[in-house]
Chains A and B, each alone.
Chain A
Amino acid sequence: MSDETFEPKIVGFMCNWCSYTASDLAGTARMKHAPNVRIIRVMCSGRVDPTFVLKAFSLGADAVLIAGCHPGDCHYQNQNYKTIRRHAMLKYILPQMGIEPERIRLVWASAAEGQILADAIDKLSEDVRKLGPLRWADNWEENGERLEALESIVKEHEEAMEVQP
């Protein structure tokens, strides 16, 4: 796939109260934006388990967007602060797994901010288009070395367990 034709596939997690409503508003107001973000509704951005993000990358997502209510405006008081923490953690661990930290993005959009969300989607799509495809799963295509490493982990683990009474 050449870079000219590359269109990133992005999974977006949006909270029911602010950002998903903002996304609907962008639609009602016909604010056209990039079609790259596919939207999953959660009740709160605090529901976004970091494993959801890793799952998306492992299935071929080129980026993940998390959108929530503005800090201080969370429908569940302050659960989006937990999202901030998890986002910071993901930013830290993704590079260790061979994923550019730019591929995860957290944005805030209130229920009235359809344009802000649409712009954020355009920006992320544009930025990831420049980064190119991820195809993270290709990193662990079956080969001898990887199997050997895996087996040694299992072996180490078993040995460690044997010491326990």
Chain B
Amino acid sequence: MIAPKDETRIGVYVCHCGTNISAVIDVEALAEFARGLPQVALARDYKYMCSDPGQELIKQDIVDKKLNRIVVAACSPLLHEATFRRVAEDAGLNPFLVQMANIREQVAWVTDDPVDALAKAKAHVAAAVRRVSKHEPLERRSVDVTPRVLVVGGGIAGIQASLTLAEAGKEVILVEREPSIGGHMSMFDKTFPTLDCAACILTPKMTAVKDERNIRLLTYSEIESVEGAVGNYKVKVRRKARYISEEKCVGCMACIDQCVFTKPKFPNEYDQGLGLRKPVYMPFPQAVPPVPIIDPETCLQLSKGKCKQNCVEACGERGAVLLDQEDTIEEFEVGAIIVATGFKAFDPSVMPYYGYGRLPNVYTSLEVERLVNAAGPTGGKLVLRDGSVPKRVVIVHCVGSRDKNYHTYCSRVCCMYSLKLAHLVKEKTDAEIYNCYIDMRTSGKGFEEFYNRVQDEGVHFIRGKVGDISLVPPENGEQSNRMTIQVDDTLLGKVRNFDVDMVILAVGLEPQPDTDDVRRMFGMSCSTEGFFLEKHPKLAPVNTANDGVFLAGVCQGVKDIPDTVAQADAAAAKALALIDRGTFELEPNTAVIDEDNCSGCRICNNLCPYDAIEYDEEKEVSRVIPELCKGCGTCVAACPAGVITGVHFTNDQIFAEIEGMLFDAMPDLLAV
């Protein structure tokens, strides 16, 4: 490595970025301006600095022209800082002697006027040049990575990611808050467009999770807290009391048979409330783990303290029913985390004109999934609440999606699952089926073909939004549950009214209600629609702002099962890349206290949220623990004596940057 010489020689490289930058900013004038700045040895402009020849240009100059500082005026440092640091490193220069000036995202792309753009770009370049002259060579810190992954959410995304990691021989902690894994996919009957039976393709994976030795499955559990950072997270998991021991239970279900409630009485959440269950129940036949659960709110013993406790007796010597069980907290250390917390189906009861919750035969698509499912409340018979078979059915598309009052985005899966439900309902009832749609979006593999098939089966399609659903007026004094649909048929150009006896609302997908809490717990952001924000929409679709946290499934954005599975494997691969390497390199930008000049006032001690500053009682000085410091710099800004240095964000470096940014404000004030 070339030691920085006494003389600072800065090379400035202005990127055209094709025409992204050069169409707005006069790049030659900018390079010419850079040449006039103090300590600049050379300045060039080039079409693509990040290309191979562009990188080679910098490397050659570092060697030939003896440059010891590099400024690249191009895109955002969040995009290519790593690239140019590597270039410097390859040429024998410390990577931290590089600074980028963001003239694409923050100048060229947001400024109309070329004169304004050039002035702002000059400021950004002048700031980078002044800053880089104050840079010091730095070494990255390396931390060991715990070779274990936490997967949050046991839907198809979490299951797939866990299995892939386990297959690679890695330990996985899979946490699911419901009593069984399986998520939304386990509620479906068939999957589009192949009409694969959802249970047939999902159940083997669920069982594999149970049998996989590398996976520790924690159902009916929630994450309590997450501490630490990439490579070494400490996670606390609350295991909610299930009142039945997972270790002792063999799934014979005698407790359910013998419950004092001889008949199921309470709505089964898993069946969307359409079916009934007892206080002790199995969520669904294929549940994993195959262990019943007791609902403390409806169980007489747990809610009222008074019951014959037949369940305990039925279990007998096995003793798996534990009515005095309490929540427990377990702690785990993991190196990486995959968040796969899924979605919530849109609740259409907020749209009074669709009558959901008021008109008995208005169903959500998820409810109909349960009705057509052989394991559902009707055993797979599609019947209405009064037991009759519907003859005319309307499927209302885009409920809660593409609607500025609710969600403006398209939920992507509704068109296809509506076609699937149309096919299934037609198959089971031979009813007349009407799809009222805004646009049919069938862009996936085999999707358009399926659309054509359903059209050929005689399903009707009406292009228009449903405006109102109301009961048909009483005939001969009798009120039926038939409904009149009012739809603005945009192809006919008129409003149509027709009667049906079943309405299926194709509800959209929305973020889980506790997304904000989860986001904060894992140090992530959300995009405007409320799903978790990926680090880069195209180039880092499963990474997040938190280096050890990855995303899979709908919690990152709406998608169907194939995309979810693909993304889950991508997240698993990213997590594997992190933990398999065994070490992770951290940025060196921690805080450092100059102990000789620290007065021991301890102002900084309480400012650190990570307890990374310790106080030495003997020497009466404060000290930063580098392993705990995350480099925010708040203590640096607070030190009254100015003896805390924010490495790579020192006062001198930022002052220099301010000077550069204001190069044209009151120029006579600036010393060269």
Contacts and interface: CB of A to CB of B under 8 A. Distances in A.
A46 B110 contact: no
Contacts of B123: 38
A51 B124 CA distance: 20
A164 interface: no
Given A42-B649, A82-B634, A86-B637, A35 B113 contact: yes
B666 interface: yes
Interface of B: 76-79, 102, 104-113, 116-117, 119-120, 123-124, 127, 520, 523, 525-528, 533, 545, 589, 607, 609-610, 630-634, 636-638, 646, 649, 651, 654-655, 657-659, 661-662, 664-666, 669-670
A24 B78 contact: yes
Interface residues of A, number: 55
B520 A11 contact: no
A23 B106 contact: yes
Interface string A40-61: 1111101111111001101111
Interface of A: 7, 9, 11, 16-18, 20-21, 23-24, 26-28, 30-33, 35, 38-44, 46-52, 55-56, 58-62, 72-73, 75-79, 82, 86, 110-113, 118, 135, 137
Contacts of A28: 105, 109
4 interchain residue pairs of minimum CB distance: A60-B665, A27-B105, A47-B633, A46-B634
B666 A47 contact: no
A119 B467 CA distance: 36
Given A35-B117, A49-B637, A61 B665 contact: yes
Contact of A112 (B78, B533, B610, B669): B533
B196 to A, nearest CB: 35
Contacts of B589: 43
A78 B661 contact: no
Nearest to A59: B662
Contacts of B119: 35
Contacts of B610: 77
Contact of B124 (A31, A39, A43, A77): A39
Contacts of A30: 109-110
Given A59-B669, A111-B525, A113-B528, A40 B658 contact: yes
B105 A49 contact: no
Contact of A38 (B105, B120, B651): B120
29 contacts: A9-B662, A11-B661, A23-B106, A27-B106, A27-B108, A30-B109, A30-B110, A40-B657, A40-B658, A41-B102, A42-B649, A43-B633, A46-B632, A46-B634, A46-B637, A47-B636, A47-B649, A56-B661, A59-B669, A59-B670, A75-B632, A76-B609, A76-B630, A77-B609, A77-B610, A110-B526, A112-B528, A113-B528, A137-B669
Contacts of A58: 669
B109 A27 contact: yes
Contacts of B78: 16, 20-21, 24
Contacts of A41: 77, 102
B363 to A, nearest CB: 34
A61 B655 CA distance: 13
A83 to B, nearest CB: 8
Given A27-B76, A112-B528, 4 more contacts: A38-B661, A41-B102, A76-B630, A112-B533
Q: Which of B634, B638, B670 has the most CB of A within 10 A?
A: B634
Contacts of B105: 23-24, 26-28
Contact of A44 (B106, B116, B633): B633
A112 B127 CA distance: 26
B609 A78 contact: yes
Nearest to B639: A49
Given A9-B665, A11-B658, A112-B526, A35 B633 contact: no
Contacts of A59: 658-659, 662, 665-666, 669-670
Nearest to A18: B525
Nearest to A60: B665
Contact of A72 (B79, B112, B520, B665): B520
B25 to A, nearest CB: 11
Given A42-B649, A73-B520, A35 B659 contact: no
A18 B630 CA distance: 16
A62 B123 CA distance: 15
A45 B610 CA distance: 17
B182 to A, nearest CB: 31
A42 B665 contact: no
Nearest to A110: B525
Given A11-B658, A112-B525, A47 B670 contact: no
Q: Which of B108, B113, B649 has the most CB of A within 10 A?
A: B649
